[in-house]
Amino acid sequence: MRGKNNSTIRYFLVRLIELLITLLLVSFMTFAAFSIIPGDAASVILGPDATPAQVENLRQELGLDKPLYVQYFSWLLGAFTGNLGKSAAFGVSVSELIAQRLPVTLGMSVIALIMVVVISYPTALISARRPGRLADQICSVLGHVLFAIPPFVLSLVMILLTSSLFGLVTVGRYTKPSENFFSFVGCLLLPSFCIALPKIAMTFKFLRSTMIEQNASDHVRTAKSHGLSDLMIEFRHVLPNSNVSAITVISLVLSDILGGSLIVEQVFNLPGLGRLLLTGIARRDFPLLSGMILYLALITVLLYFLADILTAIADPRIRIK
Amino acid sequence: MNRRYIDSRRIFFITGGILLGIVILAFLVSLFWTPYDPNTTNAATRLLPPSAEHLMGTDNFGRDVFSRILSASKYTIFISFSGVAIALVIGTLTGLPAGYFGGISDRVIMLLMNSVMCFPGILLALVAVAVAGPSMFNVVWALGIVFGPTFARVYRSGTLEIKERDYILHARVMGVNPVRIMAAHIFPNLMSQILPATVIGLANMTLFESAMSYLGLGVQPPEASFGKMLSDSQAYMTRAPWLIIFPALMLVFYILGLYFISEGIRVNNSRGGIVR
């Protein structure tokens, strides 16, 4: 018993150390990428008309004249305390800009994730119960086709359908979450669905094959021969064992969902991180871009970590190994 | 039972081949002929619906949509193939040695690759292209780098499996140098795993590329690309739905075709079509 506990703790510790190293590497790569490219924040803020002396002054003020490793550590330290410097284009602090836009992107990602879980599980269960039957065939074909449609194309089709068939205006409608939370969620439903649909197809496919495997396994046959009801078998034996692969797949689709929401926001004209990113790109606002990349990568890394921990909880074999 | 699987494999290959064939045909035709010049604007023919003269109608600049679609498929195919080629090279050079040598080099290489994978891919590609300036070649190398780690993983896990086999051990005992073992003994045996990954990679890369050109960071105007055609016509879509429908269909045909073919290969492999 004690040995088992030790190995569990060790597993989590190793994962934690790996997480920290990854975070450090991610931050270093972000910083390095923005240091080697020509042009810096000072010249962007001052514009093309600035004299070299002005640029030099501002560089000193922003700390850009210090050696790179000093800059890196002060940037990293700032990132931990939520201070990523000032955006060159907006003149506001980067963290403030991100905080303003985060609700839309995060909201869409969360809603899309919920949709993935809520829709792919039941459909996979139904499909896997009788593979090859009509319900399974319909789900599988739909899954294959939906998997291949880019989210932004799906969004365009959805906009076309809702506007021409139902006369609904879905583009550019947005309510702040602080004003009315439910109408905020309402605005995000259709875009989230467009991001979620291909990922639902992907998760469905993986879940279905795992469940078919489970259904054919010995312990399910034993349970059946003991006279357990089908429903009992599904919930007590098949589902828990499918969770392991489900968590892996879902953690894989997470960063796609996040990236997808950056694009789909653009189609639906929602004020999320995607538009901020494009503004940053258009105005070559490096502090803003590096800050955004760091935060989004941070979120992804933490989600992967969470998925790993969840997998270990769902499957004890991984911990002991 | 057996019969059904053979059929499903064939269905995947046939539908995939047809869908992909349509796009490849468009690409081949565009090399020699388009009915109109894809980039010449003409105010007299703005937003015409599909007709015998303009098979897929015209856009808001009076350009023939059919010609533009032919020309756009050229870029889609070029970018996805060259991007995947770069990613394959990165994957081979990192994943194979990591899997073969193991130990510290494996840890370091995979940690680096995993850190690249921590960035949402599209974000990385977008920023890389934005910083280097939007152009077709920048899109290609940015996507190549973003997709490299995925292939590195496939190569690594395949190598880990193969290097335990007796003939590799034999080669090592004979004193064959590691580079030769990797190139001549392991690499060819990885094909059954690399092939489906490559086809899926082509599809995923096209998803990214189209999203990037939708945002205006891909192939630059006036050249046509599916993503850009879609974003340009969004404002006219209720008036001229053909502007959305045809590029969207071509894009989906290409991705779905690739996806079906990879699925066919996968089913083929798992049915013992290729010895693993």
pLDDT, residue A45, reads 66
pLDDT surpassing 50 at residue A297 = yes
pLDDT surpassing 80 at residue A95 = yes
CATH 1.10.3720.10 location in chain A = 106-273
pLDDT, residue A103, reads 87
B120, B211, B259: residue with CB nearest A147: B259
Please tell me the distance from the alpha carbon of residue B182 to that of residue A220, in angstroms, as a whole number: 43
Instruction: Report the SS3 class of residue A198.
Output: helix
Contact B237 A260 (CB under 8 A): no
> How large is the average pLDDT for residues A31-41?
72
> How large is the average pLDDT for residues A24-52?
74
pLDDT surpassing 80 at residue B250 = yes
Average pLDDT score over chain B: 86
B114, B120, B252: residue with CB nearest A255: B120
Q: What are the E-state strand segments in chain B?
A: none
- Which two structure tokens, joined as six digits, stand for B128? 């890389």
Comparing CA positions, the residue from B91, B118, B182, B275 lying closest to residue A294 is B118
A124 to chain B, closest Cα gap in Å: 18
Contacts of B123 in chain A (CB under 8 A): 259, 262, 277, 292-293, 296
The identity of residue A55, as a single letter, is: V
- Which two structure tokens, joined as six digits, stand for A80? 């931990």
Comparing CA positions, the residue from A279, A287, A285, A289 lying closest to residue A64 is A287
Higher pLDDT, B191 or B86: B86
Contact A150 B211 (CB under 8 A): yes
Please tell me the distance from the alpha carbon of residue A70 to that of residue A76, in angstroms, as a whole number: 10
A159, A164, A259: residue with CB nearest B123: A259
- Give the count of beta carbons closer than 10 Å to the beta carbon of residue B101: 15
Average pLDDT score over chain A: 81
Contact A162, A206 (CB under 8 A): no
Please tell me the distance from the alpha carbon of residue A245 to that of residue A307, in angstroms, as a whole number: 11
Q: For chain B, how many structural domains are there in total?
A: 1
pLDDT surpassing 50 at residue A280 = yes
Please tell me the distance from the alpha carbon of residue A201 to that of residue A155, in angstroms, as a whole number: 16
Contact B159, B95 (CB under 8 A): yes
pLDDT surpassing 60 at residue B12 = yes
Write the DSSP string, A210-257.
HHHHHHTSHHHHHHHHTT--HHHHIIIIIHHHHHHHHHHHHHHHHHHH
pLDDT, residue A44, reads 66
B119, B122, B130: residue with CB nearest A297: B119
Please tell me the distance from the alpha carbon of residue A220 to that of residue A226, in angstroms, as a whole number: 10
Contact A152 B211 (CB under 8 A): yes
A80 to chain B, closest Cα gap in Å: 18
pLDDT, residue B274, reads 41
A168 to chain B, closest Cα gap in Å: 12
B121, B248, B255: residue with CB nearest A259: B121
A33-37 contact pairs (CB < 8 A, 24+): A33/A290, A33/B127, A33/B128, A33/B131, A34/A286, A34/A289, A34/A290, A34/B131, A35/A68, A35/A71, A37/A286, A37/B131, A37/B132
**Residue B276 belongs to some domain of the structure:** no
pLDDT, residue B273, reads 45
Comparing CA positions, the residue from A185, A164, A160, A166 lying closest to residue A270 is A185
For the ranges A43-52, B34-43, B227-236, B237-246, which has the lowest average pLDDT? A43-52
| Rounded-to-5 percentages of helix, strand, coil across chain A | 80, 0, 20
B252 to chain A, closest Cα gap in Å: 6
For A37, residues 6+ apart whose C-beta sits below 8 A from its C-beta are A286, B131, B132
B46 — pLDDT class (breaks 50, 70, 90): confident
Please tell me the distance from the alpha carbon of residue B38 to that of residue B66, in angstroms, as a whole number: 8
Contact A150 B251 (CB under 8 A): yes
Report residue B174 CA to chain centroid gap: 40
pLDDT surpassing 70 at residue A220 = yes
Selected residues 35-54 of chain B with any CB under 8 Å from a CB in chain A: none
Comparing CA positions, the residue from A266, A115, A268, A304 lying closest to residue A204 is A115
Please tell me the distance from the alpha carbon of residue A193 to that of residue A283, in angstroms, as a whole number: 31
pLDDT, residue A5, reads 65
CATH of residue B213's domain is 1.10.3720.10
pLDDT surpassing 70 at residue A1 = no
Percent of the residues in chain A that have a pLDDT greater than 70, as a whole number = 91
pLDDT, residue B276, reads 34
For residues A279-304, b (16+ Cβ closer than 10 Å) or e, as one string?
ebbeebbbbbbbbbbbbbbbbbbebb
Domain limits for position B222: 3-33+46-270
Comparing CA positions, the residue from A100, A300, A200 lying closest to residue B117 is A300
Contact A149 B255 (CB under 8 A): yes
| Topology of the domain covering A106-273 | MetI-like fold (1.10.3720)
How does pLDDT run across B144-170, given as a tens digit for each residue?
Answer: 999 999 999 999 999 988 888 899 999
Contact B187, B174 (CB under 8 A): no
Comparing CA positions, the residue from B100, B94, B96 lying closest to residue B171 is B100
Angle between helices B136-162 and B103-118 (to 10 degrees): 140
pLDDT, residue A305, reads 84
For residues B115-149, b (16+ Cβ closer than 10 Å) or e, as one string?
bbbbbbbbbbbbbbbbbeebebebbbbbbbbbbbb
Contacts of B237 in chain A (CB under 8 A): 156, 159-160
Percent of the residues in chain A that have a pLDDT greater than 90, as a whole number = 5
> How large is the average pLDDT for residues A99-116?
89
Write the DSSP string, A133-179.
SHHHHHHHHHHHHHHTS-HHHHHHHHHHHHHHHS----SS----TTT
Please tell me the distance from the alpha carbon of residue A113 to that of residue A103, in angstroms, as a whole number: 15
Please tell me the distance from the alpha carbon of residue B271 to that of residue B263, in angstroms, as a whole number: 12
Instruction: Report the SS3 class of residue A93.
Output: strand
- Give the count of beta carbons closer than 10 Å to the beta carbon of residue B254: 27
For the ranges B13-17, B43-47, B180-184, which has the lowest average pLDDT? B43-47
Please tell me the distance from the alpha carbon of residue B81 to that of residue B144, in angstroms, as a whole number: 10
> How large is the average pLDDT for residues B110-135?
82
- Which two structure tokens, joined as six digits, stand for B216? 């205006």
Tell me the whole-structure pTM to 2 decimals.
0.85
B210 — pLDDT class (breaks 50, 70, 90): very high
Contact A277 B123 (CB under 8 A): yes
pLDDT, residue A172, reads 67
Query: Which of A141, A152, A290, A294 is the best residue to mutate to test the B interface, defined by the most B CB atoms within 10 Å of its own CB?
Result: A152
Bond prior to B247 in cis (omega within 30° of 0)? no
pLDDT surpassing 60 at residue B5 = no
pLDDT, residue B255, reads 93
Contact A144 B121 (CB under 8 A): no
How does pLDDT run across A159-190, given as a tens digit for each residue?
Answer: 888 877 776 666 767 777 777 788 888 888 88
**Residue B97 belongs to some domain of the structure:** yes
> How large is the average pLDDT for residues B244-272?
86
> How large is the average pLDDT for residues B114-125?
82
Contact B118 A262 (CB under 8 A): no
Length in residues, chain B: 276
pLDDT surpassing 60 at residue B241 = yes
Contact A262 B123 (CB under 8 A): yes
Please tell me the distance from the alpha carbon of residue A212 to that of residue B169, in angstroms, as a whole number: 37
